[in-house]
Structure 1
């Protein structure tokens, strides 16, 4: 059984661990391996702590627990895209530990995010996904998201990686 709750400060180290393990598993072959190998748990914890401390109420971090252990993390908030409209939200990140993919943790996080978006009266949610990440693209498609035709290049470790923007209309 997966339980979703708001992330607390005590979850930061575990969330960093989930994020790094997920990046290394999901993005192998899509971003430079040297970048993945060089990801620092200590640096990630530092960044997460800074972001957690300066949350302004617009951002929401959720964690998924299974058996009392954090196995996933989702971050969302106001859309950061320059063409964002009033009522647009964005899912910034959704990661689950590689060993729990397919157990429902990702779907539980997404369901909670969609409920939160509706409570916030958002009219649509956007997210960015790597063009070559077929698994994530299928997952977002199954949650009702679709490509909106916007493509961007994201610089990771000195390499330009193509991303696609997905959108879900909530109204």
Structure 2
């Protein structure tokens, strides 16, 4: 079982590599390939360093480290905080992202991150949690449904290059 801990600045490069690999794997055939090909871990790390320098109250970044890995290199990453939906109640959290190294999907990393994210959200007095998932990302939707999330009917569109993709909002009680 992976160990989950809070992310440090020393984890930024590994987390950025995870995020880019996660996008390129999970969204192949969904998000236009030129968009995915243009993603780089270096650019993501630069943006992540800039964001971490900003004050982000109640936002938590978590990393999963493989059990027994003495180097402590992250193999998964999740980020959560207050819901960004203006109509959300103040006790609603949002899971902004969750990624596992693509070759380790199905090994319990995502489940460990999600369990820890829920625990952290409860300690911050959130009573429910939402997330957005691409409608065409059926493996992710199944993962979240197995964890007790359900679509609540809200949708939003995101544009990638010239392609508009629909996201569904999922919610779960904490």
State the Cα deviation string for residues 27-51 of structure 1 (Å, max 9, x = none).
0011110000000222101111011
Distance of 2:150 and 2:100 partners within structure 1: 21
SS in 1 for 2:31: coil
1:159 maps to which residue?
163
2:76 maps to which residue?
72
Change (3 A) 1:55 1:4: farther
Distance of 1:158 and 1:3 partners within structure 2: 40
SS in 2 for 1:15: helix
SS in 2 for 1:107: helix
Q: Is the 8 A contact 2:157 2:166 kept in 1?
A: yes
2:102 maps to which residue?
98
Distance of 1:55 and 1:139 partners within structure 2: 31
Q: What is the total number of aligned residue pairs between the two structures? A: 170
TM-score (structure 1 length as normaliser) = 0.96
Task: Report the alpha carbon displacement of residue 69 of structure 1 after superposing the two structures with TM.
Answer: 2.4
1:9 maps to which residue?
9
1:168 maps to which residue?
172
TM-score (structure 2 length as normaliser) = 0.94
In structure 2, stretches of 5+ residues that fail to align are none
Task: Quote the RMSD (CA, aligned, Å).
Answer: 1.0
SS in 2 for 1:126: strand
2:44 maps to which residue?
44
Task: Report the alpha carbon displacement of residue 157 of structure 1 after superposing the two structures with TM.
Answer: 2.4
